[in-house]
Chain A
Amino acid sequence: MTQAALTGLRIETAGDETRVCIVGPLTVREAGIAYDRLAALTPSPAMTIDLGEADTIDTIGAWLVYRFLRDWRVAGVRARYANATPEQEKLIEQARINDAPCEVRPREANPVVRQLAEIGRATVAITDRFGALLAFLGLVLARLALQLARPWRIRWTSLSHHMEQVGLKALPIVGLMSFLIGLVLVQQGAYQLRRFGAEIFVVDMIGIATLRELGVLLTAIMVAGRSGSAFTAQIGTMKLTEEVDAMRTIGLDPIDTLVLPRLLALVILMPLLVFYASMVAIAGGMVFGWLSLDIPVDTFFTRVRTVVTMDDFLVGMIKAPVFGMVIAVAGCFEGMQVAGDAASVGERTTISVVESIFMVIVFDAFFAVFFTTIGM
């Protein structure tokens, strides 16, 4: 008596025996459906999987045959297969030998415990990270002092390569950004100041704001996004491929070879980039003033020269190398923290950018208080 007609499976019942005839192929293609249908069967006291009409069976098909027979036997059913070719028998035997269920993912604790553990871990991680960052900073400064004492040990080739990457190649984008910001600032400022008839003060504004704050902040943000992230990704990938370990065993210090050239490059080039960015921003303001506000170029110039003091210029220039150092240290530190898999590189790169911009702004606030206190 035929119980139900299924595609590829025919189920016949005779007395207390159920025969499951596999018709046609039973391979990875059919596995999904075959599994669902076999799992839905209620086993009778005797079950037989008949392979007489099966044509191709692959390892996954054999696995299905084996695992259902096994389950049925465990449930106290007399289960067997019939009419298998020697090849099919071999495959089923192979499935039997390799029946070793394993976990697919690491075991997870219950959600509440996991959340609590997560909070705990995060807290420990933050303090650990802060400690590690300080340790890293200390290490870098120590190695830096050593190298500066013996300048011939500095890796000049590497340094000049990084200077090109972080400095020269950043010029177009930093320039474009600064020019546009200068332009927009003057346009917005003039719109507000016009109501007091004090349009000419946009020159004071753009000159002082750019030199003291905007030039250096915007450049730092740009550099953090451009170079800080690149540092993390480069060093992180090298950690993944064990290049950093290889360097250590050869006797190269990763701080000397990887971190210091990047750090020095940024410390040297940040002031230059900031100066360049400020000049271009002022030029942008000047162009807008000349074209739209009818402020002649020479008026603009003389006014900038009278209102902007040396102090304003120095404030920006003093901050620049410090910010460069912050970005380089954060970028390299996060790169060194990479471990495990490719996702970790991405994660660390994001953290490095966020961290360096955050720290730049914190340092900027400190500088603001400091300069006010000393009257600069």
Chain B
Amino acid sequence: MTDRDVIIRVRGLRNQFGAQVVHDNLDLDVRRGEIIGIVGGSGTGKSVLMRSIIGLQEPAAGTIEIHGRSTASLSERDAKELRRTWGVLFQNGALFTSLTVAENVQVPLREYYRMDDHLLDEIAAFKIAMVGLDRDAGPKYPSDLSGGMRKRAGLARALALDPSILFLDEPTAGLDPIGATAIDDLVRQLQQTLGLTVFLITHDLDTLHSVCDRVAVLADKRVITVGTIDELLAYPHPWVQEYFKGPRGRAALQIAGGADTSGHGEGG
């Protein structure tokens, strides 16, 4: 794998809060154009890892390179330019509560580009439809939305600038299964048509099976392994085994496997 293929490179990352060490000597490579799933038990530091990559959490040690440049040494302008190339969905949506959903989507557009108000409104409506929100959600304030709707609105905002890297913290948590599948499809489609790189934190086994190219497992304060699901199934770590071969893991595996078999049947 050449350097050009790696879009995010994390080396020797260490994060700690007081005496609690969350990450220690964590390495991770995210390749250009892939959807990488991040899994790990609750509290293993998935969100903290995302926060450190996007620069919201100062690591105690280690380096983070994005597009081949260390994020620690960026000038104010370069950092802003970098932020323009990514979209972030926080675990709890993190919408601006004093703006409507449509206005939330417009915030990054207004910040970076000059365009006609009419076009802005159109783009907001387009993105809102894209993430599967109803059209009456547009003029609503975040406090009037359900949890799942807030998630989608956050996703619409993250997608506003057509970012080249998308950071998603549990995009399908709290969504109905049909909505979750639609979000999976959307992410997959965007990755295929626009060549997005997606950093996807999830507990949703179906999402892992259907959209992730590779999966990184966070345990013991670091990324213990990265690979395709098939590779992970063979990985001997007890947590990984439990995760993919527990009752839920088996169910998801069967669905994914079953679809494959029928595909083969038709082909032959």
Contact B194–A59 (Cβ < 8 Å): yes
Q: Which residues of A contact B193 (CB under 8 A)?
A: 87, 90-91, 94
Contact B113–A28 (Cβ < 8 Å): yes
A80 at interface (Cβ–Cβ under 8 A)? no
Nearest CB to that of A95 among chain B residues? B126
Distance in Å: Cβ of B110 to nearest Cβ of chain A: 11
Q: Which residues of A contact B97 (CB under 8 A)?
A: 340-343
A27 at interface (Cβ–Cβ under 8 A)? yes
Contact B126–A36 (Cβ < 8 Å): no
Q: A29-B113, A59-B162, A102-B137 are in contact. Are A35 and B125 (CB under 8 A)?
A: no
Contact A98–B130 (Cβ < 8 Å): yes
Cβ proximity bits B118-136 to A, threshold 8 Å, 1 near / 0 not? 0101111111111000011
B161 at interface (Cβ–Cβ under 8 A)? yes
Cβ proximity bits A293-328 to B, threshold 8 Å, 1 near / 0 not? 000000000000000000000000000000000000
**Which residues in window 134-165 of B have CB below 8 A to A?**
135-143, 159, 161-162
Q: Which residues of A contact B161 (CB under 8 A)?
A: 28
A342, B138: Cα distance in complex, Å: 19
**Which residues in window 40-62 of A have CB below 8 A to B?**
58-60
Q: Which residues of B contact A28 (CB under 8 A)?
A: 109, 112-113, 161-162
Contact A58–B162 (Cβ < 8 Å): yes
A340, B170: Cα distance in complex, Å: 24
Mark the stretch among B55-63, B98-106, B240-248, B250-258 that contacts chain A. B98-106
Question: Which residue of B129, B139, B162, B194 contacts A103 across the interface (Cβ within 8 Å)?
Answer: B139
Contact A101–B139 (Cβ < 8 Å): no
Distance in Å: Cβ of A106 to nearest Cβ of chain B: 5
A105 at interface (Cβ–Cβ under 8 A)? yes
Distance in Å: Cβ of B118 to nearest Cβ of chain A: 8
Cβ proximity bits B169-211 to A, threshold 8 Å, 1 near / 0 not? 0000000000000000000011011100000000000000000
Contact A35–B113 (Cβ < 8 Å): no
Q: Which residues of A contact B103 (CB under 8 A)?
A: 104-105
Nearest CB to that of A85 among chain B residues? B193
A339 at interface (Cβ–Cβ under 8 A)? yes
A32 at interface (Cβ–Cβ under 8 A)? yes
A105, B105: Cα distance in complex, Å: 12
A99 at interface (Cβ–Cβ under 8 A)? yes
- The size of the chain A interface, using a CB distance under 8 A, is 34
Contact A98–B129 (Cβ < 8 Å): yes
Most chain A beta-carbon neighbours within 10 Å: one of B135, B138, B159: B138
Nearest CB to that of A64 among chain B residues? B119
Contact B138–A31 (Cβ < 8 Å): no
Q: Which residues of A contact B122 (CB under 8 A)?
A: 63, 67, 101
A100, B138: Cα distance in complex, Å: 11
Using C-beta atoms within 8 Å of the partner chain, give the interface range for chain B.
35 or more
Question: Which residue of B114, B143, B194 contacts A340 across the interface (Cβ within 8 Å)?
Answer: B143
Contact A32–B119 (Cβ < 8 Å): yes
A107 at interface (Cβ–Cβ under 8 A)? yes
B76 at interface (Cβ–Cβ under 8 A)? no
A200, B115: Cα distance in complex, Å: 73
Contact A32–B141 (Cβ < 8 Å): no
Most chain A beta-carbon neighbours within 10 Å: one of B114, B119, B121: B119
Distance in Å: Cβ of B159 to nearest Cβ of chain A: 8
Most chain B beta-carbon neighbours within 10 Å: one of A36, A105, A339: A105
Question: Which residue of B102, B130, B143 contacts A105 across the interface (Cβ within 8 Å)?
Answer: B102
Q: A31-B113, A107-B139 are in contact. Are A98 and B100 (CB under 8 A)?
A: no
Q: Which residues of B contact A341 (CB under 8 A)?
A: 97-98, 141-143
A273, B86: Cα distance in complex, Å: 53
Distance in Å: Cβ of B240 to nearest Cβ of chain A: 35
Cβ proximity bits A144-155 to B, threshold 8 Å, 1 near / 0 not? 000000000000
Distance in Å: Cβ of B186 to nearest Cβ of chain A: 9
Distance in Å: Cβ of B95 to nearest Cβ of chain A: 9
Distance in Å: Cβ of A63 to nearest Cβ of chain B: 5
B116 at interface (Cβ–Cβ under 8 A)? yes
Q: Which residues of A contact B113 (CB under 8 A)?
A: 28-29, 31-32
| 6 A-B contacts (beta carbon < 8 Å) | A35-B116, A59-B130, A59-B190, A94-B189, A99-B129, A103-B135
On A, residues with C-beta under 8 Å from B are 27-29, 31-32, 35-36, 39, 58-60, 63, 67, 87, 90-91, 94-95, 97-107, 339-343
The 8 nearest A-B residue pairs measured at CB = A341-B97, A102-B138, A32-B115, A98-B129, A58-B162, A102-B135, A104-B102, A103-B139
